[in-house]
Amino acid sequence: MLIKPNILLIYTGGTIGMVKDFKTKTLRAFNFDNLLIKIPEIKQLECNISTLSFDEPIDSSNMDVSHWVKIAKIIEDNYTTFDGFVVLHGSDTMSYTASALSFMLQNLQKPVVCTGSQLPIGDLRTDAKENLITAIQVASLQKKNGDPKIKEVCLYFEYKLYRANRTTKINAEHFEAFSSPNYPELAESGVHLKVFKRNLLKQEGSGKFHVHDKMCTNVAVLKLFPGITENVVKAVLNIPNIKGVILETYGAGNAPTLPWFTKRLGKALKEGVQIVNVTQCVGGSVLMGRYETSTHLQQLGLISGGDITFEAAITKLMYLLSINTTAQNFKLMFEKSIKGELTDNFQ
């Protein structure tokens, strides 16, 4: 007899869970207990669905580390009972949450699929139904022996399944709101739901699943722009108790060669601040030393973010700063893929 997979749907908030009140024309949060009544199509899916909602669903702009921990703990508490998890989340910060989860969920052997929508589930032209239904189908995919086909945190939106920590929100208007500029899709939904096996995360060992529930928030971002002043750079690098900074550079990781700039970075590094070079470009990689305008950064010993997205870089920084490691090890760990978030040996 075929055993149906058990899927847990975790509703955190965002547009997807809203319905339009046709009398008042306003959007209001939808009671997820009524999900099966509102979307009868879900009954046709070959799985058992349970739902769990945040007591107070939030717009994802209000997400912080405590919410990431809450989602991770829900998954941990229900890990043995369920075969797959679907996290319903506002699209605005979905790539951050999904990237953070990819680092916090350790030895994950089951699918965690984050999804949301640009229009509420109650809207006539909604993209929510397709996103939700296919996300559940993805989370239910199993091999013949009952093992899940996908064992990583991913993000499903508008017919495409991406590795979570490779995504970035690129559009506030189009249904195709996300992109994975430096890594191919994990699956595509067309007439068939095609999984690209070669793109899936290679398994990281067979340790027991657990949640890393600490993320260091003593981090900041320094985005370069032509005309940036020493005062701005100094202010960011001198934030009290700062432990890590993402330096958003130009092109292949380039930055001004002005002596004051190099001096400020050098001082912060000496004081133990971890500085990661991440490009402002949507696609491509940091390659320090390719141009004269990045040689000084390489000589200072800045960490290369390679082809990592900003979302994955900041969450990886928070994660690595929360584990005990030496400065040298920190650089090695950042520059190497932990959960497929960057391409090793990018050339």
Residue with smallest beta-carbon separation from ligand ASP:
90
Q: Is 90 in the site for ligand ASP (CB under 6 A)?
A: yes
Interface pick for ligand ASP out of 5, 57, 111, 116 (rule CB under 6 A) = 116
Question: Minimum CB separation from ligand ASP for residue 118, in Å?
Answer: 6
Q: Is 185 in the site for ligand ASP (CB under 6 A)?
A: no
What is the Cβ-side half-sphere exposure of residue 108, based on CA atoms within 13 angstroms?
A: 28
CA separation for the pair 193, 64 (Å, rounded) = 33
121 and 17 in contact (C-beta within 8 Å)?
yes
DSSP codes, 273-307: -EEEEEESSSSS---TTSSHHHHHHHHHTPEE-TT
**Cβ partners under 8 Å of residue 289, min gap 6:** 295, 298
Question: Minimum CB separation from ligand ASP for residue 171, in Å?
Answer: 11
Tokens standing for residue 85:
């998890």
252 and 294 in contact (C-beta within 8 Å)?
yes
Q: Is 304 in the site for ligand ASP (CB under 6 A)?
A: no
Count the site residues for ligand ASP by CB under 6 A: 11
Question: Minimum CB separation from ligand ASP for residue 91, in Å?
Answer: 3
Residue 14 or 340: which CB sits closer to ligand ASP? 14
Residue 91 or 134: which CB sits closer to ligand ASP? 91
| Pick from 303, 299, 290: nearest CA to 347 | 290
Residue 126 or 322: which CB sits closer to ligand ASP? 126
Question: Minimum CB separation from ligand ASP for residue 54, in Å?
Answer: 12
- Dmax (CA) for the chain in angstroms is 72
Q: Is 22 exposed, middle or buried (0-12, 13-18, 19+ CB in 10 A)?
A: exposed
| Pick from 187, 211, 178, 180: nearest CA to 90 | 178
Which among 15, 126, 168, 315 is annotated as catalytic? 15
Give the range of 59-67, 182-190, 230-238, 321-329 binding ligand ASP by CB under 6 A.
59-67
6 and 45 in contact (C-beta within 8 Å)?
no
Strands 274-279 and 244-249, sheet pairing: parallel
Q: Is 60 in the site for ligand ASP (CB under 6 A)?
A: yes
Give the range of 12-20, 46-54, 308-316, 336-344 binding ligand ASP by CB under 6 A.
12-20
Q: Is 120 exposed, middle or buried (0-12, 13-18, 19+ CB in 10 A)?
A: buried
Using only C-alpha atoms, what is the Rg of the chain?
21
Question: Minimum CB separation from ligand ASP for residue 12, in Å?
Answer: 9
CA separation for the pair 340, 99 (Å, rounded) = 10
Residue 95 or 137: which CB sits closer to ligand ASP? 95
Question: Minimum CB separation from ligand ASP for residue 72, in Å?
Answer: 19
Q: Is 97 in the site for ligand ASP (CB under 6 A)?
A: no
Q: Is 92 in the site for ligand ASP (CB under 6 A)?
A: yes
Q: What are phi and psi of 115, to 5 degrees?
A: -155, 170
Q: Is 12 in the site for ligand ASP (CB under 6 A)?
A: no
Q: Is 14 in the site for ligand ASP (CB under 6 A)?
A: yes
**Between 117 and 156, how does the x/- string for binding to ligand ASP read (CB under 6 A)?**
-x--------------------------------------
Q: Is 15 in the site for ligand ASP (CB under 6 A)?
A: yes
Residue 217 appears among annotated catalytic residues: no
Q: What does the binding site for ligand ASP look like in residue numbers (CB under 6 A)?
A: 13-15, 59-61, 90-92, 116, 118
- The catalytic residues are 15
